[in-house]
């Protein structure tokens, strides 16, 4: 437990609690903290059970939660968001999942779609996303939009199922547009840049020299991203 950084502990905690709790935690972060957490999430592996147990024990001791990952009604902050979550959980059936089609969408694509939406719509989507994806989307927003989205989340009431289904269909349809699919390729380029940052110098040079004969522009893009990823990794260390 002693060798875990605070950022790693945050990732483990967000991955271990319920979506409602994770959303509340993310809403309390300032823009700089969100960026740090998002950078850590992008390069982190899934938490192991021992990490979850240790971080959970720390969280219980620090916050007084009686059941880590299963907060009772009395444990949740007395906001309309907490009350809405409780009411919504009682009316949903076992099959229906809010924004089901968006649950596996890459954060980069969702950000590209949501950046032109109103803060209320962004808040609705972020609230229902997996915690890791939600934090990445939040970190990519401008600081003024982040503040407005957090405000919307903190005051969110019960949302009709029909509204959630409509948002799900609309955003999912946007994700299928050809211009938005290209974001996936850029995501792969970012991943390659991170891999090369960990490769030895000779391997990196040989790969980039060979690739430059086929696609020089791609090599330039990778080199730029390598510098960016290296800086992000230093910040999250």
- Residue 165 scores a pLDDT above 70: yes
Q: Are residues 91 and 167 in the same domain?
A: yes
Reduced to 3 states, what is the DSSP secondary structure of residue 177? coil
30 with 133, same domain: the answer is yes
pLDDT higher than 80, residue 28:
no
Q: Which residues contact 172 (CB under 8 A, 6 or more apart)?
A: 101, 102, 105
* Whether residue 195 is found in the same domain as residue 171: no
- Confidence band, pLDDT 50/70/90 cuts, at residue 160: confident
Split at pLDDT 50, 70, 90, the class of 29 is confident
Please give the pLDDT value at position 59.
Answer: 65
Same domain, 187 and 177: no
Lowest-confidence region among 69-78, 195-204, 225-234: 69-78
- Cβ-proximal residues to 82 (8 Å cutoff; 6+ apart), any chain: 20, 24, 73, 76
Tell me if 89 is assigned to some domain: yes
Task: Tell how far CA 142 is from the center of its chain.
Answer: 15
| Residue found under tokens 């032109």 | 116
Cβ of 87: how many Cβ atoms within 10 Å? 11
Query: Which residue range(s) make up the domain with 22?
Result: 6-181
Query: What is the pTM for the complete model shown?
Result: 0.42
In a domain, 1, yes or no: no
* Same domain as 229, residue 133: no
pLDDT per residue as tens digits for the range 40-88: 776 777 777 788 777 777 766 665 544 434 333 333 333 333 334 444 4
Where among 138, 163, 181 does a domain terminate?
181
18 assigned to some structural domain:
yes
Lowest mean pLDDT among 55-64, 117-126, 162-171, 219-228: 55-64
Question: Domain for residue 148, yes or no?
Answer: yes
pLDDT for the residue numbered 86:
42
Q: Is residue 68 part of a domain?
A: yes
Distance between CA 69 and CA 118 in Å, rounded? 31
Question: What was the pLDDT predicted at 215?
Answer: 82
Residues 78 and 149 in one domain: yes
Query: For all residues of the chain together, what is the average pLDDT?
Result: 70
User: 48 and 20, same structural domain?
Assistant: yes
- Going by C-alpha positions, the residue among 72, 69, 65, 77 that lies closest to residue 28 is 77
- How many domains does the chain fold into? 2
Residue 58 belongs to a domain: yes
């Amino acid at each position: 437990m002693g060798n875990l950084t605070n950022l790693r502990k945050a990732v483990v905690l967000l991955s271990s609690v319920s979506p409602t709790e994770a959303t509340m935690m993310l809403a309390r972060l300032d823009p700089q903290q969100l960026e740090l957490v998002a950078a850590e999430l992008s390069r982190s592996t899934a938490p192991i059970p021992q990490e979850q147990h240790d971080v959970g024990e720390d969280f219980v001791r620090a916050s007084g939660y009686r059941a880590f990952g299963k907060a009772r009604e009395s444990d949740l902050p007395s906001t309309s968001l907490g009350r809405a979550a409780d009411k919504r959980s009682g009316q949903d059936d076992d099959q229906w999942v809010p924004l089901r089609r968006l649950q596996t969408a890459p954060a980069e694509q969702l950000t590209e779609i949501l950046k032109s939406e109103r803060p209320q719509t962004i808040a609705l989507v972020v609230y229902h996303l997996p915690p890791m994806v939600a934090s990445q989307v939040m970190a990519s927003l401008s600081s003024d939009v982040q503040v407005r989205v957090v405000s919307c989340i903190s005051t969110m009431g019960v949302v009709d199922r029909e509204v959630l289904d409509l948002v799900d269909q609309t955003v999912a349809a946007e994700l299928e547009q050809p211009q938005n699919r290209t974001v996936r390729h850029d995501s792969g380029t970012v991943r390659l840049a991170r891999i090369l940052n960990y490769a030895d110098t000779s391997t990196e040079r040989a790969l980039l020299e060979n690739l430059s004969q086929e696609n020089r522009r791609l090599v330039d893009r990778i080199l730029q991203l390598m510098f960016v990823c290296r800086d992000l990794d230093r910040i999250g260390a």
